[in-house]
């Protein structure tokens, strides 16, 4: 079976858990230490994508770009977006201002790749009570129906919905 490669980007405010989500997905590991990302780091992971016919599976190599997202580097970040058909935009449920920036991050990404797909990850769900999580998810619904596939409550610590965000994106990339 042939393997195709697709580039995806993780983007969001500083400290929301982008590097941790990638680490959980690729290595099944989590660390409480802050793993500072300078510029960009690229990880790979092979996933299987099932198409309409259940027997029709496709190997997909995800090239996952971990992009440092501070505003100072916005123009640089946009260069890193080139050639990417998908993105995970990440916010932190314990820091509301990071959730308020998600819409702007979506626009920044779509300005470079207007036909791309986006999954939103509301991360660090392990730190908030379940009843608040549902409220937060309802509050943060994003508009672009052609681009935004879904919004997930995630935890890089417990692994909650981590495979799902990448799998949802992967399914639409082929």
What whole-number distance in Å separates Cα of residue 150 and Cα of residue 15?
Answer: 22
Which of Mg ion, ligand GDP, none sits in contact with 124, Cβ below 5 to 8 A by type?
ligand GDP
Record the tokens describing residue 127, joined without a space: 């730190």
Q: Are 8 and 116 in contact (CB under 8 A)?
A: no
Q: Please give the residues from 15 up to 54 whose contact with Mg ion meets the rule CB under 5 A.
A: 18-19, 37
Query: What tokens appear for 123 in the block?
Result: 């991360």
Output the smallest distance, CB 135 to ligand GDP, in A.
18
Residue 14 binds which of Mg ion, ligand GDP, none (CB < 5-8 A, kind-dependent): ligand GDP
Residue with the two structure tokens 């932190």: 92
Exactly one of 15, 85, 137, 149 binds ligand GDP (CB under 6 A); which one? Answer: 15
Output the smallest distance, CB 19 to Mg ion, in A: 3
Site mask for ligand GDP (CB under 6 A), range 48-87, x = bound: ----------------------------------------
d(CA 151, CA 40): 24
Q: Which of 6, 7, 101, 157 binds ligand GDP (CB under 6 A)?
A: 157
Give the pairing type, strands 3-12 and 86-92.
Answer: parallel
Sheet of strand 86-92: strand arrangement: 40-50, 57-67, 3-12, 86-92, 117-123, 148-153
Binds ligand GDP (CB under 6 A): choice among 28, 127, 139, 174: 127
In eight-state DSSP terms, residue 73 is: G
Verify binding: residue 16, ligand GDP, rule CB under 6 A.
Answer: yes
The residues of the shown chain that bind ligand GDP, judged by CB under 6 A, are: 14-20, 31-32, 34-35, 37, 123-124, 126-127, 155-157
């Amino acid at each position: 079976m042939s393997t195709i490669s697709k580039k995806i980007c993780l983007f969001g405010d500083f400290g929301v858990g982008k590097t941790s989500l990638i680490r959980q997905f690729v290595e099944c590991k989590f660390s409480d230490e802050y793993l500072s990302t300078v510029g960009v780091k690229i990880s790979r992971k092979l996933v299987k994508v099932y198409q309409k016919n259940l027997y029709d599976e496709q190997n997909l190599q995800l090239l996952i770009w971990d992009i440092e997202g501070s505003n100072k580097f916005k123009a640089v970040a946009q260069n890193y977006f080139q050639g990417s058909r998908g993105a995970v935009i990440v916010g932190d449920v314990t820091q509301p201002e990071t959730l308020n920036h998600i819409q702007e991050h979506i626009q920044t990404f779509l300005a470079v790749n207007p036909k791309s797909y986006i999954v939103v990850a509301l991360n660090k769900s392990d730190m908030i009570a379940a009843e608040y999580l549902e409220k937060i998810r309802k509050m943060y619904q994003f508009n672009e129906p052609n681009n935004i596939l879904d919004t997930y409550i995630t935890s890089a610590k417990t692994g909650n919905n981590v495979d799902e965000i990448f799998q949802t994106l992967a399914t639409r990339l082929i």
